[in-house]
Amino acid sequence: MRQRGVIVMLSALAAMAVLIIVGCASKKGTTTVSTAKVQITGAGSTFVYPLMSRWSSEYAKLTGVQVNYQSIGSGGGIQQFKEGTIDFGASDVAVSDEEEKSFTRPFVQFPVVAGTEAIVYNLPGITQHLNLTPAVLADIFLGKIKKWNDPRIAQLNPGVQLPNLDIVVVHRSDGSGTTYIFTDYLSTVSKEWEQKVGRGKSVSWPVGVGGKGNEGVTGQVKQLPGAIGYVELSYAMQNNLTFAAIQNAAGKFVLPDKDTGEEATRAAVARLKQDIRSSAVNMPGEKSYPITGFVYVMLDKQPKDAAKAAEMKKFFEWALKEGQQMASELGYVPLAEEVVQMSLQKLAEVS
């Protein structure tokens, strides 16, 4: 009796699993349980995740090649690529010479898309874009400017009724490419920041509270009146956060968007020609948005699986050409044509 009961239960469980699989398989032709012959695995940057997924969906429809991209963070992407557990890595920060020494295989890296970071804040009743200079921004994040109605902020924003509110700095608690780009920018514009804090995927912040991921910082800023933080522009827009116009190297106050970001990447071309890993922060040009960065992809130079590598090359060629249009739809900054050409050259080095 008992034995039979157990057998019945186990077979019921098995039947359940089979039913689910069969159910999915019999569903309309497009979603059958089948795995493509070629499946490419990539991981890394959370920032590029929405775009990578869109590329992957579109590309699978076009060619049947499946690119499975998982967002584990830029640091994770570099690490897993180094260990060889993924086919390609993506990071908001290029792999430095220092890091490259620990790699055992030759690889190429090149930008696939760019993005801007918005300085978001939560000031009850204030919906306009505040003007901020690099010096003021650095002093806010250094904890030297403590109140929103500080004369230095008020001076930049005549006519705005700034509240007598404490400034709450919100930063990333996890290692992140977003943090790297932001601290790289602050280090470029402020000697004091460079000496006291420096640049990095995670730094020891002089003041403020941490939030995990772009979404964590977004959430904190949304909830805390007086908060200021840095997030990728798409997060700011999707969550209706107010963001600041930042004074660029040419002295103009500019807002982050596709055009000002693209202007910055174009201004970075000369630098990129010398080193493809160069950053795009604080670029010259009247319309350049100063907090702009690239997303880099890492590929093996001499891949073991030639068939897979050939498909991967085709995918990135497509992403660099046709894919750039999708980038601007999703709030990213498409690469300037010169940068696309440089990336394609790098991609061609993959044998």
Partner 1 sequence: MRLSRAHELWRRFLNMASLALTGICAIVVMAPVFVILAYLVVNGIRSLNIEFLTSLPKSPGETGGGMANAIVGSFYMVGLALMLSLPVGVGAGVYLAEFGRTRYAHVVRFMADVLNGVPSIVIGVSVWALLVVPMRSFSALAGGVALSFIMIPMIARTTEEMVRAVPNVLREASLGLGATYARTMWSVVLPAARGGIVTGVMLALARVFGEAAPLLFTALGNRFWNLYLDRPMANLPTQIYEYAKSPYEDWHRQAWAAALVLIIVVLVLNIIARVSTRERYRALR
Question: 3-state class of 232 per DSSP?
Answer: strand
155 binds partner 1 (CB under 8 A): no
Q: Which of 11, 85, 128, 302 binds partner 1 (CB under 8 A)?
A: 85
Alpha helices in the chain (DSSP H): 2-26, 49-63, 74-83, 97-100, 134-142, 151-156, 177-189, 191-196, 213-223, 233-238, 258-267, 269-274, 306-321, 323-329, 337-348
89 binds partner 1 (CB under 8 A): no
Least distance in Å: CB of 339 to partner 1?
24
Least distance in Å: CB of 257 to partner 1?
18
Least distance in Å: CB of 59 to partner 1?
11
Residue 252: count other Cβ atoms within 10 Å of its Cβ: 15
Q: Which of 63, 70, 133, 173 binds partner 1 (CB under 8 A)?
A: 70
Least distance in Å: CB of 202 to partner 1?
18
Contact assessment for residue 178 and residue 232, using Cβ atoms and an 8 Å cutoff: yes
127 binds partner 1 (CB under 8 A): no
Q: For partner 1, how many residues bind (rule: CB under 8 A)?
A: 48
Token code pair at residue 105? 């295989």
Q: Which of 59, 73, 81, 86 binds partner 1 (CB under 8 A)?
A: 86
Token code pair at residue 241? 């956060």
Sign of CA dihedral 267, 270, 271, 275: positive
- Of 5 and 158, which has the nearer Cβ to partner 1? 5
CA-based nearest residue to 59, from 42, 72, 47: 42
**Interacting positions 8-37 with partner 1 (CB under 8 A):** 9, 13, 17, 20-21, 23-24, 27, 31-36
Binding mask 196-235 for partner 1 (x = CB under 8 A): ----------------xxxxx-x----------------x
- Of 182 and 235, which has the nearer Cβ to partner 1? 235
Q: Which stretch binds partner 1 (CB under 8 A): 45-53, 98-106, 115-123, 179-187?
A: 45-53
Question: 3-state class of 229 per DSSP?
Answer: strand
83 binds partner 1 (CB under 8 A): yes
Residue 184: which residues within 8 A CB-CB, separation 6 or more?
Answer: 199, 279, 281, 293
CA-based nearest residue to 129, from 246, 302, 30, 282: 246
Contact assessment for residue 294 and residue 113, using Cβ atoms and an 8 Å cutoff: yes
185 binds partner 1 (CB under 8 A): no
Alpha helices in 247-349 (DSSP H): 258-267, 269-274, 306-321, 323-329, 337-348
Residues that bind partner 1 (CB under 8 A): 1-3, 5-6, 9, 13, 17, 20-21, 23-24, 27, 31-36, 39, 41, 43, 49-50, 53-54, 56-57, 60, 66, 68-71, 83-86, 212-216, 218, 235, 238-239, 330
